[in-house]
Amino acid sequence: MNFLLTTSLYLFTVNLISCSITTQYYQHLINQRTKEALRYKLPTSNNEFKLGVESENTEEYGEFDFVIVGAGSAGSVLATRLSEIDDFTILLLEAGGEEDDFNQIPALWLYNQFSEKNWGYYSIPQKHSCLGMNNRQCVVPRGKLLGGSSSINGVMYSRGNCKDYDKWYQIGNRGWSCKDVLPYFKKSENSQISGDENYRGKGGFWNIEYPLPDSPLYQNFVNGSLELKQPIVEYNGKNQIGASHLQSNIKHGRRQSLATAFLDNSRHRSNLKVLTKTLVTKVVIDPQSKKATGVEFVTRNKKFHVRATKEVIVSAGAVNTPQLLMLSGVGPKDELSKLEIPVVADLPVGKNLIEHPILGLMVRSDYTPPKIGLNELIQQYLNGFGALTKGANVEGVGYIQTKNDSSEVPTIEILVSIPPHIDSSIFQRQFNYNKNIIDGLLDTIDPQRDIFFYIVLLHQKSRGRIFLNSGSPIDFPNIDFNMLSEQEDVDTLIEGVKYVQKLLKTHAFRKINATLLEVPICTNFKISSKEYMECLIRNLANSGSHPCGTAAMGPNNGNFVVGDTLEVHGVGNLRVVDASIFPSSISGHLNAPTVMVAEKAADLIKKEHKYL
């Protein structure tokens, strides 16, 4: 009796101590990383790989059936699926390093952008958008670690609209209609959402859940949406248009990057080798046979060549994939010739860059969020709930059709981000806003109590492009978003602003005295005039971190880079598998569609080699 009592007392004490050690560890980690992010200097080139690139020797690294470039969302899924076949050998090459406990905290996502986990890109100076940014350059965060952008993103899970994929099919892509791709969305997921079983998957690697609990403001959003005759929907189910609760790629509150969800389950396999801190500098393509035979890469200051006996698969993301293809001679002939890169295939690589412009509106209300100390927030996080589990603090999502037509595809997405915004200290760096705007914003907003409404333009008409700066893999590529070059895009965003204004006039929001805060810019225009709104949009709207389309999928007619098997037109043994292949825009966020593409690609490859 006595013995039992002491044992349980002893266990109890141990438990308490280990719990407080964990809390202290997180407190230290968060304090340290958030401070570092405010000072961190982003790189302006791939200089860390310079010694390797300039090395005189090239060592042979042997041969693998498949060499995959990039362990991001697509690469992590693809490597996991291909290594299910024991006969395949796979080498997965990733420029960045490992994930850690910090990047897995969803609410602190922004800080990763000011660390070595981000490539550090900015767009070239813009003409029509990002006019309020320093040197008119939009920020272009891109994950540089295992899991890629899924390891630093906002963990919002959305698949887009069924009709988006029917459009891919109509372009001439067999096997990519809505009904064709749905099984691949279901395959990857382990859904904790109470949705329609015909649409949702259970038992997959990737966990989807609601971040909890809701703030009371979420109900204001639901009630206000209902007043505007919007239905309440499960937006990844049958009907997308309406208001909804955000679904998130988290598991028990922690980020589920594709490295955590997939690669962690396959890395131990003896037929899969993963190399981090490794930059692929070139896909080697035989000029006679026009077949990819391997890649060159640098790691730890050394240069290597590795052979791919079956295929090279480029999954370097929508910015780096076109860069690598062009460095390897696959791209627009005139541009490559100017840089003296021998042309292997003349294809529109880097063109058709699609983005989702996003505008934030600040709203003051009488709602005051409860004050919760960091210690308690960490305890909540460790128990799988609370503010730290919410990517970008978003709770409410609306997919809205602002045009009066019957297309049933939303034009605008509204994201409702709930205070307090724990990441307010990074706010100044987030958008690269110039001093004038930052000072004005900081004077106006109170991150502790203001609600942020984000308006996303889902189907822009404008197109940008990625192009090379030089023929060296050390140089960053040029990113020209060219957002809002089409007036129609500005006009649709204005409809989005009007929608938020209507929402604020509903009983549900008037009840808490919600009012739009005026930003002290564009003061030469009459407030609420069309010209004023256009000025706000062109100054403040940013890229939504959703680049895609730069190696678009479609028929071999000069407008597309890969066919519907994702093989590069006119080049053998070379595939592109990532967000670059999207031929047209998606009515939602890009991570789930990218994972779908990788799941489908794995099956295409397995079928080709008669394993399916």
Ligand X SMILES: Cc1cc2nc3c(=O)[nH]c(=O)nc-3n(C[C@H](O)[C@H](O)[C@H](O)COP(=O)(O)OP(=O)(O)OC[C@H]3O[C@@H](n4cnc5c(N)ncnc54)[C@H](O)[C@@H]3O)c2cc1C
Interface residue with ligand X among 579, 586, 602, 605 (CB under 6 A) is 579
Active site residues: 546, 589
Interface residue with ligand X among 132, 317, 496, 563 (CB under 6 A) is 317
Interface residue with ligand X among 161, 173, 256, 320 (CB under 6 A) is 320
Q: Considering the complex, state which of residue 222 and residue 466 has its C-beta at the smaller distance from ligand NAG.
A: 222
Interface residue with ligand NAG among 78, 378, 455, 508 (CB under 6 A) is 508
Binding to ligand NAG, residues 401-440 (CB under 6 A):
404
Least distance to ligand X from the beta carbon of 45, Å? 13
DSSP 567: B
Interface residue with ligand X among 280, 416, 571, 576 (CB under 6 A) is 280
Q: Considering the complex, state which of residue 69 and residue 178 has its C-beta at the smaller distance from ligand X.
A: 69
Alpha carbon 208 to its chain's center: 16
Residues in Cβ contact with 299 at an 8 Å cutoff, skipping those fewer than 6 apart? 52, 275, 277, 278, 279
Please name which of 45, 552, 64 lies closest in space to residue 325, comparing C-alpha atoms: 552
Question: Contact at 8 Å (CB) between 202 and 185?
Answer: no
Question: Contact at 8 Å (CB) between 224 and 506?
Answer: yes
Question: Contact at 8 Å (CB) between 590 and 143?
Answer: no
The identity of residue 313, as a single letter, is I
Give CA–CA dist 581/176, Å, rounded: 12
Least distance to ligand X from the beta carbon of 547, Å? 7
- Residue 152 binding target from ligand X, ligand NAG, none, CB below 5 to 8 Å by type: ligand X
Question: Contact at 8 Å (CB) between 533 and 494?
Answer: yes
Question: Contact at 8 Å (CB) between 336 and 596?
Answer: no
CA dihedral for 13, 18, 21, 22, sign (positive or negative): negative
Number of H helices, E strands in the chain: 16, 24
Least distance to ligand X from the beta carbon of 328, Å? 11
- Residue 423 binding target from ligand X, ligand NAG, none, CB below 5 to 8 Å by type: none
Least distance to ligand X from the beta carbon of 161, Å? 14
Residues in Cβ contact with 344 at an 8 Å cutoff, skipping those fewer than 6 apart? 285, 287, 290, 328, 329, 330, 571
The identity of residue 199, as a single letter, is Y
Give CA–CA dist 155/157, Å, rounded: 6
Please name which of 287, 280, 206, 205 lies closest in space to residue 248, comparing C-alpha atoms: 206
Give CA–CA dist 472/572, Å, rounded: 24
**Residue 545 binds to ligand X (criterion: CB under 6 A):** yes
DSSP 134: G
- Residue 223 binding target from ligand X, ligand NAG, none, CB below 5 to 8 Å by type: ligand NAG
Interface residue with ligand X among 34, 220, 315, 389 (CB under 6 A) is 315
Interface residue with ligand X among 117, 144, 186, 465 (CB under 6 A) is 144
Least distance to ligand NAG from the beta carbon of 445, Å? 12
User: Which residue's beta carbon is nearest to the bound ligand X?
Assistant: 72
Interface residue with ligand X among 70, 211, 350, 396 (CB under 6 A) is 70
Least distance to ligand X from the beta carbon of 14, Å? 38
Say which residue the tokens 């063109």 belong to.
351
Part of the chain binding ligand NAG (CB under 6 A), chosen from 3-11, 458-466, 509-517, 570-578: 509-517
Least distance to ligand X from the beta carbon of 415, Å? 9
**Residue 246 binds to ligand X (criterion: CB under 6 A):** no
Least distance to ligand NAG from the beta carbon of 221, Å? 9
Least distance to ligand NAG from the beta carbon of 224, Å? 8
Please name which of 318, 296, 338 lies closest in space to residue 561, comparing C-alpha atoms: 318
Beta bridge partners, 70, equal none
- Residue 331 binding target from ligand NAG, ligand X, none, CB below 5 to 8 Å by type: none
Give CA–CA dist 611/310, Å, rounded: 14
User: For residue 610, what are its two tokens?
Assistant: 């008669």
- Residue 415 binding target from ligand NAG, ligand X, none, CB below 5 to 8 Å by type: none
- Residue 150 binding target from ligand X, ligand NAG, none, CB below 5 to 8 Å by type: ligand X
Part of the chain binding ligand NAG (CB under 6 A), chosen from 2-10, 33-41, 149-157, 511-519: 511-519
| Helix or strand run (H / E) with residue 242 | strand 242-245
N- to C-terminal Cα separation, the chain? 61
**Residue 223 binds to ligand NAG (criterion: CB under 6 A):** yes
**Residue 324 binds to ligand X (criterion: CB under 6 A):** yes
Which residues are known binding-site members for FAD? Answer: 280
Residues in the chain: 612
Please name which of 156, 241, 199 lies closest in space to residue 411, comparing C-alpha atoms: 241
Q: Considering the complex, state which of residue 380 and residue 515 has its C-beta at the smaller distance from ligand NAG.
A: 515
**Three-class secondary structure of residue 221 per DSSP:** helix
| Helix or strand run (H / E) with residue 278 | strand 278-286
Give CA–CA dist 451/110, Å, rounded: 18
Binding to ligand NAG, residues 322-381 (CB under 6 A):
364, 366
Query: In Å, how far are 12, 310, 507, 582 from 164, measured between CA atoms?
Result: 55, 32, 34, 10
Least distance to ligand X from the beta carbon of 148, Å? 2
For helices 2-39 and 374-382, angle between their N-to-C axes, nearest 10 degrees? 120
Binding to ligand NAG, residues 86-125 (CB under 6 A):
none
| Residue count, binding to ligand NAG (CB under 6 A) | 10
Question: Contact at 8 Å (CB) between 354 and 547?
Answer: yes
**Three-class secondary structure of residue 62 per DSSP:** strand
- Residue 584 binding target from ligand NAG, ligand X, none, CB below 5 to 8 Å by type: none
Q: Considering the complex, state which of residue 450 and residue 564 has its C-beta at the smaller distance from ligand NAG.
A: 450
**Residue 229 binds to ligand NAG (criterion: CB under 6 A):** no
Part of the chain binding ligand NAG (CB under 6 A), chosen from 113-121, 235-243, 467-475, 506-514: 506-514
Binding mask 360-399 for ligand X (x = CB under 6 A): -------------------------------x--------
**Residue 143 binds to ligand X (criterion: CB under 6 A):** yes
In the complex, the residues that contact ligand NAG under the rule CB under 6 A are 219-220, 223, 364, 366, 404, 508, 511, 513, 515
In the complex, the residues that contact ligand X under the rule CB under 6 A are 69-75, 93-96, 141-144, 148-150, 152-156, 278-280, 315-318, 320, 324, 391, 545-546, 578-579, 589-592, 594
